[in-house]
A and B are shown apart, each in its own frame.
Chain A
């Protein structure tokens, strides 16, 4: 059988013939709104829909937690939800646990969170999060900046740390803790991520200060930045170039060059939407072979751009074996994906999340059904 075009060839590939997927199966136990869910045959592009508070962002968080397995990502995740992780100095065990119990389903912190990920080579990465009494530490409370020996009479506090028992795709195991440091402050034990996963690109976060500039510089050095620039030019022809500049020492900023302007302009000042799309494109390349997480993709993007945005992201994701997990509330945005879904049917999966009796459940829906539903005018959100 001869296949006329590359598009037809890609559409004809079976599920198994497609490139590497870091997350083919995902199991979440006891994490936030998920009591127990398991999803199989995840795809290159996984679109997540559901009502507010159904658990869409939690699914992204669970992927972040599952692939990073790093305790220090907890305050970062909270910050994304505009919820700082705050503790008084020298907290009691109850105070110590307070911001951490939110992680557990129904706040039942005596249980354990398990996030297990199987890749397309059937290797498993797993993180188990639980309060571990065997690693309890006794802290001598301190006042202000006094050294411990200056308040000998103060009662000690026993802290049961939150343990991250990790086992990565290579089978390497370790445990990282969330505990208190000798100064009585929250301490997140550092470690290496277990997999490759981007931050959670959202309306509140699209690359930290300087982060995008650093990545763009790196791609420039590796002579790989042209792909990013081309994509931006394709979407926004009024931008002739994007460059990483250092207007002040230690301050990398991505600038856009518009022929209509006398000087370059920081991309984030030009448009939040363009900046977000730029971040997505960068992340797909930067987190090659891993997963990129996008919360509410439609934000800041003009509706006419949707079809091209999907095409750009999917083409790049296929090229770099990067998996996309994208939430959306926008029917217009989903309809904009139709042509790209048709051309890459085997690469798409829709995950609908619904909450029932306090727990969220996930229903996967194959691309061929979504495609037809959109064609027939059904609302698939």
Chain B
């Protein structure tokens, strides 16, 4: 069960040597599923969430989340590396810089560039989704994987977008999110309102975790946890 990868908040502390920090639960669940698919068992996955006392959620809360990781008192000596995996969005350079700064502020080492695993014995890395040299988001990548599996849906989604007057003016990222949501809603009969955070356990999930669209992320994860 991929949820077992999630970093527990209940006092068990850090249980696995590597931590992957994501922006939110949708991204975290995707990484959990990919880790499970790849058979990688040495990682915990975590993200800021609203469960705490005002720590915030999303990308802006990652600096606070990293500080919080230093505040986990149990099992801290287990931790051997941190990988931050976030959307590149429209400015990967700026996103890398802000995450590097956040790592340093939380007194972790920081990598000198994205997409490289640096540091010994403590490893750090920052991976910007979708891949090196590209802007974009995880939603875009998930959509890419879903459409690769069922290409005929691309035209349907395009038509759907054409039918709505407002969507055309949305950003590429917003459109990707809308298209993915529409595809999920049309695929998951038992839970048409399933979000990207829970599609991995939904019957009819249109995004195949085994998609070659995720191979480069899988390979990076293997490198990160490798010897």
Q: Nearest residue in A to B65 (C-beta to C-beta)?
A: A376
The stretch of B48-56, B113-121, B183-191 in contact with A is B48-56
| B1 CB, nearest partner CB in chain A, Å | 21
| Cβ B64 vs Cβ A372 within 8 A | yes
Q: Are B51 and A377 in contact (CB under 8 A)?
A: yes
Contact mask for chain A residues 194-214; partner B; CB cutoff 8 A; 1 contact, 0 none? 000000000000000000000
A338 to B53 CA separation, bound complex (whole angstroms): 9
Given that A368-B67, A369-B67 are known contacts, is A375 also in contact with B73, CB under 8 Å in the complex? no
- Would A375 and B72 be within 8 Å (CB), given that A368-B67, A369-B67, A381-B11 are in contact? no
Q: Which of A350-376 contact B (CB under 8 A)?
A: 350, 352, 354, 363, 365-366, 368-376
> In the bound complex, do residue B71 and residue A378 qualify as a contact, i.e. CB atoms below 8 Å apart?
yes
A328: min CB distance to chain B, Å: 13
**Bound complex: CA A381 to CA B106 (Å):** 20
Assembly CA distance A102 to B196 (angstroms): 59
Contact status A335-B53, CB under 8 Å = yes
A379 at the A/B interface (Cβ < 8 Å)?
A: yes
Asked if B71 and A377 sit within 8 Å, CB to CB, the answer is: no
Please tell me the number of chain A residues within 8 Å of chain B, measured between CB atoms. Answer: 24
Cβ contacts under 8 Å, A350 to chain B: 71, 73
B64 CB to nearest A CB, Å? 5
Interface of A is mostly: mixed
Interface check A380, CB cutoff 8 A: yes
> Min CB distance, B8 to chain A, in Å?
9
CB atoms of B68 and A369 under 8 A apart: yes
B78 within 8 A of A: no
Q: Is the CB of A379 within 8 A of B48?
A: no
- Whether the Cβ atoms of A365 and B53 lie closer than 8 Å is no
Q: Which residue of A lies closest to B56 (CB)?
A: A375
CB neighbours (8 Å) of B149 from chain A are none
Residues of A close to B41: CB separation below 8 A:
none
* Interchain CB contact under 8 A, A378 and B64: no
* B10 interface residue per 8 A CB criterion: yes
CA distance A47 to B201 in the complex (A): 42
Our pick among B9, B49, B70 for the contact of A365 (Cβ within 8 Å) is B70
* Residue numbers in A under 8 Å from B73 (CB-CB): 49, 350, 352, 363, 365, 380-381
- Decide yes or no: A379 and B9 within 8 Å by CB, A335-B53, A372-B65 being known contacts: yes
Chain A residues engaging chain B, CB cutoff 8 angstroms:
49, 331, 335, 338, 350, 352, 354, 363, 365-366, 368-381
User: What are 23 A-to-B residue pairs whose CB atoms are below 8 Å?
Assistant: A352-B73, A365-B71, A366-B70, A368-B67, A369-B70, A369-B106, A372-B67, A372-B68, A372-B71, A373-B67, A373-B70, A373-B72, A374-B52, A374-B53, A375-B54, A375-B64, A376-B48, A376-B65, A377-B55, A378-B52, A378-B68, A378-B72, A381-B11
